[in-house]
């Protein structure tokens, strides 16, 4: 029977899995009373679903509808003036959701907060560009890579991939070597669709060897002319070894070196 | 309206003939001072920029996608290709975030070597900045002088790890090699000479009339704007915000070292250029302190954590169990705990951080590289408005963007 390959996650899987392996967790601790993080959680009020501290940073889970107001409170009341990073994680296969995180920095306290929210597939998230201009590029990248639409973004356009690209590369359903569209993209664009047969799909596998390619490869013992057509098979060429002639210049005699 | 097809493509410059008389020009992606692959679509009114649209993605290699399909150790050499001017900073930022994820302590000698390499790499990167920035602005000789010093620094790098650009010299859990013979002596010679070299560049540039005219009050960013656009590193400190991750959120040995964080309140390109100069001196100062720390350390180079890190080579070759663990780690890869982590570091360009989401598998579930240059490129769309076309090159130069990490 053919091996089952899940279609919703085509990323590389580990070859060997231990049935009894239980992965440990990165240590998490509760927010300490009276700390700066406690005041942040208090300022956010009932928007906080859960909050904990992990690796020195506060992680706040919120609903995706609250993302703008949460970031506004963090900026205006808690002093988190920089939004250093924002992106998404694909959980479509497991939960049908994306996880979006906003990485916030307080320059005075030198502390960081990660605001995390989950958004179902197909829903759009509110843009935070009015609060942080750094979100302009970051949200465009999130849209480009995951296809999460942004409401009220000033320039809602792809940023890294070409404008006419199909598919969103960082989805788990998108293969590493690119999909069908990707393999024809340049041929279609430069030469036109009618040249597909002539040129063939783009080879995105760097280690691929074409059996009948005599331009770049040759088989030992079956050497043929450059660019010869060997689709009907090729004749065997016996291997010839180079010969060494020993010349004695004093007598002027030549002698074939015996191969050992 | 133009009719475009394959034979007559769209020419944006035809806008020039419109009534309002703005001209749209393409700056890059092949422009020599576009720092690699930046395409700027500039709308000009006379010589003044009315609108600037940075177009990126010409160097996109899908590094974050590759991270999801590689084991943690496999991915490390790929991080070299992010900011290829300062590879060690990338290697280190990545290694540190994986170490934070698995909660690993690195031996002290490895810490000393790593910090030395980081600072040496900072010098290399800053020298590259001053060389190319001066060349962009028109000072050819500084380029040659700065590249001479950079060459010596790269020789030191080569002596240590064998590579000049793509170092991979920091590994998860430590460093692979101890310092070679005479390296410390060469390093001391270099750090002693470097301040003189920096002084020479300053003599050539700081009071230079042309240099001042080209840089003063060009590319002015207010502190508020810098924070809003997510600027970091010198772009932030050049706007009067004293924030250096090495000082504020110390990692590695930076909490034990004496160094100053230069800040400029002038908010312009000249101020930023002076910060780069001063940071090189500080880096030399840091390395001199590290050289004294080095002999007092134990010879261990990689952390001892059999579950995640292979044993040293001697043990692998002599002990059966170490060999078995090494085999498992190479064929299957390490499996960090479940959870996510974001670790910021101060790379020469600014805040370089890796967000890693692990699901307990040998492959990262999601890896996001927070590249400082990406945000500095975003800033260009506001910074360039109202400037003159001749200043565009200066402003791109002063942001010090590298496209390896913008496009990833």
Domain that holds residue B35: 1-60+372-408
- What ipTM did this prediction achieve? 0.85
Q: Which residues neighbour B177 within 8 Å (Cβ) at sequence distance 6 or greater?
A: B160, B161, B169, B301
Residue B108 lies in a domain: yes
Residue B315 lies in a domain: no
Contact B90, B352 (CB under 8 A): yes
> How many whole angstroms separate alpha carbon B236 and alpha carbon B223?
7
Q: How many CB pairs under 8 A join A and B?
A: 134
Which residue in A has a C-alpha nearest to residue B247's C-alpha?
Answer: A110
Q: Identify the three-state secondary structure at position B147.
A: helix
Instruction: Assess whether pLDDT exceeds 80 at residue A137.
Output: yes
> How many whole angstroms separate alpha carbon A44 and alpha carbon A76?
11
Q: Which of A26, A113, A129, A142 to mutate to test the interface with B (most CBs of B within 10 A)?
A: A26
CB atoms within 10 A of CB A184: 17
Q: Is B35 left (phi over 0), alpha (psi -120 to 50) or beta?
A: left
> How many whole angstroms separate alpha carbon B357 and alpha carbon B367?
6
Q: Which has the closest alpha carbon to B105: B173, B42, B43?
A: B173
Residue B69: which of A11, A114, A133 has the nearest Cβ?
A11
Last residue of a domain, one of B266, B294, B322: B294
- Is the domain of B160 the same as that of B49? no
- Is the domain of B15 the same as that of B146? no
- Is the domain of B28 the same as that of B106? no
Instruction: Assess whether pLDDT exceeds 70 at residue A93.
Output: yes
Q: Which has the closest alpha carbon to B35: B354, B387, B349?
A: B349
Please give the pLDDT value at position B354: 94
Tokens of B376: 């500095």
Last residue of a domain, one of B279, B294, B309: B294
pLDDT tens-digit map of A204-245? 777 778 888 888 888 888 888 888 888 888 888 877 777 788
What sign has the CA pseudo-torsion B204, B206, B207, B210? Answer: positive
Check CB contact under 8 Å for B355 and A169: no
Tokens of B372: 């400082």
First to last CA, chain B: 36
Residue B119 lies in a domain: yes
Tokens of A246: 């020993």
Q: What is the distance in angstroms between the Cα of B355 and the nearest Cα belonging to chain A?
A: 9
Instruction: Assess whether pLDDT exceeds 90 at residue A176.
Output: no
C-alpha separations of B280 from B120, B198, B286, B345 in Å: 9, 8, 10, 18
pLDDT band at A201; cut points 50, 70, 90: confident
Instruction: Assess whether pLDDT exceeds 90 at residue A248.
Output: no
C-alpha separations of B49 from A187, B46, B285, B390, B393 in Å: 36, 8, 42, 10, 12
Domains defined along chain A, listed by start: 36-151 (3.30.460.80), 175-202 (no CATH), 209-260 (no CATH)
φ, ψ for residue B56 (rounded to 5)? -120, 175
Considering only residues 22 to 81 of chain A, which have any Cβ-Cβ distance to chain B shorter than 8 Å?
23-28, 54-55, 57, 81
> How many whole angstroms separate alpha carbon B143 and alpha carbon A77?
47
Please give the pLDDT value at position B275: 92
Q: Provide the strand spans (E) within B148-272.
A: none
Check CB contact under 8 Å for A110 and B248: yes
- Is the domain of B55 the same as that of B91? no
> How many whole angstroms separate alpha carbon A188 and alpha carbon A86?
34
- Is the domain of B99 the same as that of B142? yes
Contact B229, B377 (CB under 8 A): no
Q: Which has the closest alpha carbon to B79: B345, B397, B378, B380?
A: B345
Residue B66 lies in a domain: no
Count of CA atoms in the C-beta half-sphere (13 A) of B343: 25
Q: Identify the three-state secondary structure at position B265.
A: coil
Please give the pLDDT value at position B125: 93
Domain count across chain B: 2
Please give the pLDDT value at position B13: 55
Please give the pLDDT value at position B2: 62
C-alpha separations of B33 from B76, B206, B392, B394 in Å: 30, 21, 10, 9
Residue B363: which of A11, A138, A141 has the nearest Cβ?
A11
Q: Is A167 left (phi over 0), alpha (psi -120 to 50) or beta?
A: left
Please give the pLDDT value at position B156: 92
Q: Which of B228, B245, B308, B346 to mutate to test the interface with A (most CBs of A within 10 A)?
A: B228
Q: Which of B53, B56, B65 to mutate to test the interface with A (most CBs of A within 10 A)?
A: B65
Instruction: Assess whether pLDDT exceeds 80 at residue A12.
Output: yes
Q: Which has the closest alpha carbon to B252: B47, B88, B22?
A: B88
Residue B128 lies in a domain: yes
- Is the domain of B141 the same as that of B82? yes
Please give the pLDDT value at position B33: 67
Q: Please report, to the nearest 10 degrees, the dihedral formed by the alpha carbons of residues A127, A129, A134, A138 taken in order.
A: 20
Question: The CATH number of the domain where B19 resides is what?
Answer: 3.30.390
| A82 lies within 8 A of chain B by CB | yes
- Is the domain of B12 the same as that of B132? no
* Rounded mean pLDDT, A179-188: 87
Pairing of strands B350-358, B339-347: antiparallel
Better-predicted residue by pLDDT, B172 or A260: B172
Q: What is the DSSP letter of B96?
A: H
Please give the pLDDT value at position B15: 54
Residue B375: which of A12, A134, A169 has the nearest Cβ?
A134
φ, ψ for residue B103 (rounded to 5)? 65, 60
Considering only residues 125 to 154 of chain A, which have any Cβ-Cβ distance to chain B shorter than 8 Å?
132-134, 136-138, 141, 145
Q: Identify the three-state secondary structure at position B359.
A: coil
Last residue of a domain, one of B243, B278, B294: B294
What pTM does this model have? 0.87
Q: What is the distance in angstroms between the Cα of B333 and the nearest Cα belonging to chain A?
A: 9
Please give the pLDDT value at position B96: 93
Residue B332: which of A14, A24, A101 has the nearest Cβ?
A14
> How many whole angstroms separate alpha carbon B343 and alpha carbon B348?
16
Residue A26: which of B337, B361, B375 has the nearest Cβ?
B337
Question: The CATH number of the domain where B167 resides is what?
Answer: 1.10.645.10
Q: Is B229 exposed, middle or buried (0-12, 13-18, 19+ CB in 10 A)?
A: buried
Instruction: Assess whether pLDDT exceeds 80 at residue A189.
Output: yes
Check CB contact under 8 Å for A89 and B366: yes
Contact A230, A224 (CB under 8 A): yes
| A83 lies within 8 A of chain B by CB | yes
> Rounded to an integer, what is the distance from CA A72 to the centroid of its chain?
31
- Is the domain of B50 the same as that of B88? no
Please give the pLDDT value at position B24: 82
Which residue in B has a C-alpha nearest to residue A155's C-alpha?
Answer: B53
pLDDT tens-digit map of A36-67? 888 888 888 888 999 999 988 999 999 999 89
> How many whole angstroms separate alpha carbon A19 and alpha carbon B3?
62
Contact A131, A119 (CB under 8 A): no
Residue B239 lies in a domain: yes
Q: Share the mean pLDDT of chain A.
A: 87
- Mean pLDDT, 10 residues at a time, chain B of 408 residues: 64 57 80 77 87 90 91 92 91 93 91 93 93 88 91 92 90 90 92 92 89 88 91 90 90 90 90 92 92 90 89 89 90 90 92 92 92 92 89 89 89
Please give the pLDDT value at position B8: 66
- Is the domain of B111 the same as that of B11? no
- Is the domain of B107 the same as that of B253? yes
CB atoms within 10 A of CB A233: 6
- Is the domain of B392 the same as that of B255? no
- Is the domain of B1 the same as that of B92? no
């Amino acid at each position: 029977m053919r091996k089952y390959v899940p279609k919703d996650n085509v990323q590389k899987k580990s070859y060997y899995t231990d049935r009894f392996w239980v992965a440990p967790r990165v240590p998490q601790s509760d927010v300490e009373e009276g700390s700066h993080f406690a005041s942040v959680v208090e300022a956010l009020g009932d928007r906080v679903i859960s909050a904990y501290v992990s690796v020195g940073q506060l992680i706040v889970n919120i609903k995706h509808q609250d993302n703008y107001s949460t970031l506004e409170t963090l900026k205006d009341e808690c002093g988190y003036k920089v939004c250093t990073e924002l992106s998404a994680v694909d959980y479509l296969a497991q939960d049908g959701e994306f996880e979006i995180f906003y990485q916030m920095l307080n320059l005075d306290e030198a502390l960081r907060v990660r605001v995390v929210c989950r958004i179902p597939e197909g829903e759009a998230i509110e843009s935070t560009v009015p609060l942080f201009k750094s979100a302009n590029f970051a949200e465009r990248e999130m849209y480009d890579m995951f296809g999460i639409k942004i409401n009220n973004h000033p320039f809602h356009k792809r940023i890294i991939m070409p404008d006419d690209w199909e598919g969103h590369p960082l989805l788990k359903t998108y293969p590493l070597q690119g999909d069908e569209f990707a393999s024809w993209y340049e041929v279609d664009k430069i030469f036109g669709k009618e040249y597909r047969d002539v040129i063939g799909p783009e080879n995105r596998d760097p280690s691929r060897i074409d059996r009948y390619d005599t331009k770049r490869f040759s088989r030992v013992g079956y050497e043929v002319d450059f660019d010869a057509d060997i689709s009907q098979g090729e004749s065997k060429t016996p291997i010839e070894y180079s010969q060494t002639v020993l010349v004695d210049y004093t007598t002027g005699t030549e002698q074939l070196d015996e191969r050992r | 309206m133009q009719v475009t097809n394959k034979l007559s493509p769209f020419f944006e410059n035809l806008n020039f003939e419109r009534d309002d008389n703005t001209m749209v020009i393409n700056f890059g992606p092949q422009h020599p001072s576009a720092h690699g692959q930046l395409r700027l679509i500039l709308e000009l009114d006379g010589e003044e920029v009315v609108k600037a649209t940075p177009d990126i993605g010409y160097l996109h290699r899908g590094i974050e996608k590759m991270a999801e399909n590689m084991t943690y150790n496999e991915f490390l050499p790929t991080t070299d290709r992010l900011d290829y001017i300062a590879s060690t900073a990338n290697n280190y930022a990545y290694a540190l975030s994986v170490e934070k994820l698995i909660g690993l302590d690195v031996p002290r000698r490895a810490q000393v070597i790593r910090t030395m390499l980081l600072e040496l790499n900072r010098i290399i990167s800053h020298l590259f900045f001053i060389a190319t920035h001066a060349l962009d602005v028109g000072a050819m000789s500084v380029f040659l002088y700065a590249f001479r010093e950079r060459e010596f620094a790269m020789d030191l790098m080569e002596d240590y790890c064998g590579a000049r650009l793509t170092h991979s010299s920091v590994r998860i859990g430590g460093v692979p090699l101890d310092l070679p013979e005479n390296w410390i002596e060469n390093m001391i010679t270099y750090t002693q000479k470097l301040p003189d070299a920096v002084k020479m560049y300053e003599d050539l540039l700081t009071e230079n009339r042309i240099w001042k005219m080209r840089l003063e009050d060009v590319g002015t960013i207010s502190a508020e704007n810098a924070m809003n656009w997510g600027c970091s590193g010198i772009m932030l400190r050049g706007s009067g915000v004293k924030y250096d991750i090495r000082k504020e959120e110390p990692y590695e040995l930076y909490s034990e070292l004496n160094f100053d964080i230069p800040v400029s309140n002038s908010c312009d390109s000249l101020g930023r250029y002076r910060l780069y100069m001063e940071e090189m001196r500080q880096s030399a100062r840091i390395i001199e302190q590290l050289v004294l720390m080095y002999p007092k350390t134990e010879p261990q180079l990689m952390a001892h954590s059999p579950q995640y890190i292979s044993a040293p080579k001697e043990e692998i070759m002599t002990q059966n169990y170490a060999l078995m663990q090494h085999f498992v780690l190479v064929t299957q890869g390490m499996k960090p705990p479940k959870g996510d982590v974001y670790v910021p570091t101060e790379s020469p360009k600014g805040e370089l951080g890796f967000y890693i989401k692990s699901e307990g598998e040998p492959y990262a579930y999601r890896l996001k590289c927070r590249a400082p240059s990406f945000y500095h490129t975003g800033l260009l769309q506001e910074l360039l408005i109202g400037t003159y076309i001749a200043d565009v090159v200066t402003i791109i130069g002063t942001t010090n963007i590298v496209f390896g990490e913008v496009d990833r």
